[in-house]
Amino acid sequence: MKFKSPPVNSLSLEFLTEFSIGLEKLENNRACRGVIITSAVPKIFSSGLDITEMCGKSVEHYGEFWRAVQEMWLRLYGSNMVTVAAVNGSSPAGGCLIALSCDYRIMAENPKFSIGLNEAQLGIVAPFWFKDTFVNVVGHRIAERSLQLGSLHPAPEAQRLGLVDELVPEEKLMEKAAAVMAQWLALPDHARQLTKTMMRKAVLDRLVAHREEDIKNFITFVSKESIQKSLRMYMEMLKKRKS
C-alpha cells in the first residue's frame, strides 16, 4: 500500500476511512498474506493525524474522526497479515503509530527523516493505546522518556532505540522490505498468526473494552479551549516555519 495524499499524507477522516477499507479488503483476500506500507510522497511517510480535523469542528465530527483513528489501528495492529513499514520519510505522531503497528520497520537512512510520538510538543497527550503500542516495541523506559519529551528521533537514533528495526539506503528500501516479507512469509501462517495474536491481544482488547469511553475522553479533551488554542498555535507555527 502506498500513501499518496500530498502534501504530507496527513491522516484525515477520508484518508483513514480509505486506509481501513483497503486493509479490510486485503485481510479478506485469501491470496494476500502480507502488506508493505510505504509512501508515494517524497520525504514524508505520514505527518500524523490531520490537525484540521481536530480544530474548530463539531462534537459529532470529533467523535466520527476518533472512531476512524481507532478503527485504523484495530485493523492494522490486529491484522493477520505480515505487515512491514517501509518508512521513506518523516513520520511523526499518528504516522509513527502506523509504523509501530506493523510487524517490522525499515527506515531510509536519512538523518533528516525523523519518527516519534511528539504529541506532548503539541500540548496534547498520546492516548493509552498509542502508548501501549510504543511500549511493546521499545520498552517502558525508552517509551516514557520519549513520550514525556515528545521526541522526534532522527533515523539513526530511532534505530539505536529499537523504534525502527533497520536502516537502509533509500534506493534499497523496497528491495529490503520485499526480502523481509519473504522471510516472514516462509513460516506457516497459522503458527505466526497465533503467536502475533498472543503478543498483541491484551493491548487490542483494552481498547475494544474501552472504545466508547476513549471516544468520550477524546471529545472532552479536544473540545477544551486550551487544547484548541494549542492546536491552532501549532498550525500557525507550521505555516510560519514555511514562510
Ligand X SMILES: CCCCCCCC/C=C\C=C\CC(=O)SCCNC(=O)CCNC(=O)[C@H](O)C(C)(C)COP(=O)(O)OP(=O)(O)OC[C@H]1O[C@@H](n2cnc3c(N)ncnc32)[C@H](O)[C@@H]1OP(=O)(O)O
Interface residues toward ligand X, by CB under 6 A = 7-8, 10, 44, 47-52, 90, 92-94, 118-119, 122, 124-125, 127, 217-218, 221, 235, 238-239, 242
Q: How many CB atoms lie within 10 A of CB 41?
A: 18
For the CB of residue 22, give the shortest distance to ligand X in the complex, in Å. Answer: 19
Cell readout for 38 is 510505504
3-state secondary structure of 158: helix
Q: How far is the CB of 180 from ligand X (least distance, A)?
A: 25
Give 33 or 67: the residue with its C-beta nearer to ligand X: 67
Our answer to whether residue 118 is catalytic in this structure is yes
Q: Is 115 or 177 the residue whose CB approaches ligand X more closely?
A: 115
212 is catalytic: no
CB of 197 to ligand X, least distance (A): 26
Element (H, E) at 197: helix 189-209
Helices 140-149 and 128-138 meet at what angle, rounded to 10?
Answer: 130
45 or 104: CB nearest ligand X: 45
Residue tagged active-site, from 119, 147, 163, 173: 119
Query: Catalytic one among 13, 88, 118, 147?
Result: 118
Q: What is the dihedral of CA 80, 152, 64, 132, to 10 degrees?
A: 50
186 backbone dihedrals φ, ψ, rounded to 5°:
-70, -15
Please list, in sequence order, all residues whose beta carbon lies within 8 angstroms of the beta carbon of residue 201, skipping any fewer than 6 positions away. Answer: none
Smallest separation, CB 54 to ligand X (Å):
6
Comparing CB distances to ligand X, the nearer of 117 and 167 is 117
120/155 Cα distance (integer angstroms): 20
Instruction: Give the residue numbers marked as catalytic.
Output: 49, 94, 118-119
